Structure formats: C-alpha cells, structure tokens
C-alpha cells in the first residue's frame, strides 16, 4: 500500500536530513501510528506520501504507483485516493458543514446527485447529521475535526493520513475522534496517523513506527508510545543503528 525504499529527504539549507534512509512498508487496512519528537520527520513522511514533497533519494510507492514517475499532471488524480486530516482542521470558514464537505467533491467534478447522496451519509457516519447547516466557528473543536474527517473520507479514499488530528483537542474529545478513525480503519481504509498523544497510542495497541532524527528506530506491532518490547523489524528494514528507547516502568 505504502512502501518506502531507502528514502532520504534533505531540505535546502539544512545539512541534517529530515528523513534518513527510511525503508518500510505499510499494508492494506493497517492502522499505523507515527510517533516521534517534533522535527523527527513525521510530517515530512506524510508530505512525501502525498507527493507534496519529492524525496532527495530513494523511491516511494503508494497504491502501486511509483511517485517518482508520477507526472505533475497526474498528481491530482493520485491524491483523490488519499484523505488528509490536520491538527488545525483547515475548514473553509464561510462555508457551512455540508458545503465544506461538498466542496471537496465539487472540485473533483462529482455530480450534484452524487454529492446530495454522499455528503449526508458521511456526515451521519461522523456523527454530525444534525449540524449540516452550521458554520465552522459555531462548532466545537471536536466537531470541526469530524467535519474535516468527513471531508477526507467522503470520496472513499484507500488511505487516510492524519497529522496530529487530536493535537488541539481535550482527551475526551480525542477519544471520540479515535473511535471514529478506528471505525474508518475497520471499513478497510489504511490509516496513518502522526501523533504526540501517548495515551491514545498506548490504549489503541496498534502498529507504531517511531522516528528519531529522521530515522526509524522502532517498528512495533501492537506497540505503545514508548516501547515495552524488543523492536520488531518490519519488511525489508535494515537493523537500526540507534538504540531503541527503553522505558523503565
């Protein structure tokens, strides 16, 4: 589904790579947490998957396509298979809930009939059925994030990328969002979530990929925010040079 081969990402004017020779594979339907300190390369990873950035070295395959060979004309069509959610929601403030979700379908040329059917469905799924006419500023943070998630999944993407989706939310609201993401994952969507939220990661017990200074230091199935077990190497991964973080209970 997502495969990184020796991917290195260097930003201009910065000698230290944001990602350093990262090799990993994420399979269909997996729920993956991407953890690590700020600046460890989580966001670069997500941006590379979206082809918002191109790697300095190495190859990235997403949904069977080699992103290095994807022409800029085809990038938009590729992105229609991905949904993205951000910490800051990124809703359009002058559009109501329905229009915010409908907008993402309008601009990729979906028919009015399709939009009239798909948008209420997805709003019902994220639990906003009664609030279709509200403007974003009339909603709570959790509700705004639900709108953003609805927008991301309304086109039934194969992959959902979430960049700290609970970063601005209180724990109770975060739990609601996580329950929603889990439901989405159960319907077969691959979910890749970058987060700082130790509580959520520990509670969910899903695959955890930890980045330190642009390198994968841990790739653990059913892991916590910090490791409690010997690191499990994923498909094709070279043994990591950095010692895994070990927590003393």
Partner 1 sequence: MRFGLIMSEVGSGLRRNFSMVVSVVLVTFISLTFVGAAILLQFQIGQMKGYWYDKAQVAVYMCTSLSTEGQCNLVEATADQKAAVKAQLESPALAPLVKNVSFQTHKQVYAQYKQQFGDTTGSDFVTPSFLPETFWVNLKDPSQADAVVESIGSLAGVEEVKDQRAYLDPIFSALNAASFTAIGIAALMLVAAVLLIATTIRLSAFSRRRELGIMRLVGASNRFIQTPFVLEGVISALVGSVLASGVIVLLVKFFVQGYLGSQAQDTPFIGLGDAFIVVPILLVVGALLAAASARVAISRYLKV
- For residue 7, what are its two tokens? 């991917």
Which of these segments, 34-42, 79-87, 131-139, 240-248, binds partner 1 (CB under 8 A)? 79-87
Dihedral sign of CA atoms 48, 64, 164, 212 in order = negative
Q: Closest separation between CB of residue 48 and partner 1, Å?
A: 12
Instruction: Specify the DSSP class assigned to residue 5.
Output: E
- Would you count residue 76 as binding partner 1 (CB under 8 A)? yes
- Would you count residue 111 as binding partner 1 (CB under 8 A)? yes
- Would you count residue 79 as binding partner 1 (CB under 8 A)? yes
Binding mask 155-174 for partner 1 (x = CB under 8 A): x-------------------
- Would you count residue 116 as binding partner 1 (CB under 8 A)? no
Helices (H), 82-239: 97-106, 112-125, 141-153, 171-186, 198-204
- Beta carbon nearer to partner 1, 82 or 177: 82
To the nearest 10°, report the CA torsion of 177, 178, 184, 189.
Answer: 130
Beta strand ranges found along the chain (DSSP E): 2-9, 19-26, 31-35, 57-62, 65-66, 82-86, 159-163, 190-195, 207-212, 215-220
- Would you count residue 11 as binding partner 1 (CB under 8 A)? no
Binding mask 138-157 for partner 1 (x = CB under 8 A): -------------x---x--
Cα–Cα dist 197/180, whole Å: 16
Which spans of this chain sit near partner 1 (rule: CB under 8 A)? 50-52, 72-73, 75-80, 82, 84, 90, 92-93, 103-104, 106-109, 111-112, 151, 155
């Amino acid at each position: 589904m997502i495969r990184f081969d020796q991917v290195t990402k260097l930003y201009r004017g910065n000698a230290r790579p944001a990602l350093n020779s990262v090799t990993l594979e994420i399979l269909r339907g997996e729920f993956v947490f991407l953890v690590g300190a700020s600046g460890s390369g989580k966001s670069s990873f997500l941006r590379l998957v979206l082809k918002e950035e191109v790697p300095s070295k190495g190859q990235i395959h997403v949904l069977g396509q080699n992103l290095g060979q994807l022409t800029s004309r085809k990038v938009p069509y590729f992105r229609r298979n991905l949904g993205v959610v951000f910490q800051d929601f990124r809703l359009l403030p002058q559009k109501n809930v329905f229009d915010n979700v409908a907008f993402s379908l309008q601009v990729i040329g979906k028919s009015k009939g399709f939009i009239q059917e798909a948008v209420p469905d997805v709003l019902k799924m994220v639990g906003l059925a009664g609030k279709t006419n509200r403007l974003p500023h009339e909603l709570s943070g959790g509700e705004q994030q639900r709108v953003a998630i609805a927008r991301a999944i309304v086109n039934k993407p194969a992959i959902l990328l979430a960049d700290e989706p609970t970063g601005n939310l209180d724990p109770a609201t975060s739990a609601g969002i996580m329950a929603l993401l889990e439901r989405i994952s159960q319907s077969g969507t691959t979910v890749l979530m970058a987060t700082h939220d130790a509580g959520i990661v520990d509670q969910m017990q899903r695959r955890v990929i930890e980045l330190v200074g642009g390198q994968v230091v841990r790739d653990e199935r059913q892991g916590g925010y910090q490791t409690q077990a010997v690191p499990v190497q994923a498909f094709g991964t070279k043994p990591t040079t950095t010692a895994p973080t070990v927590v003393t209970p």
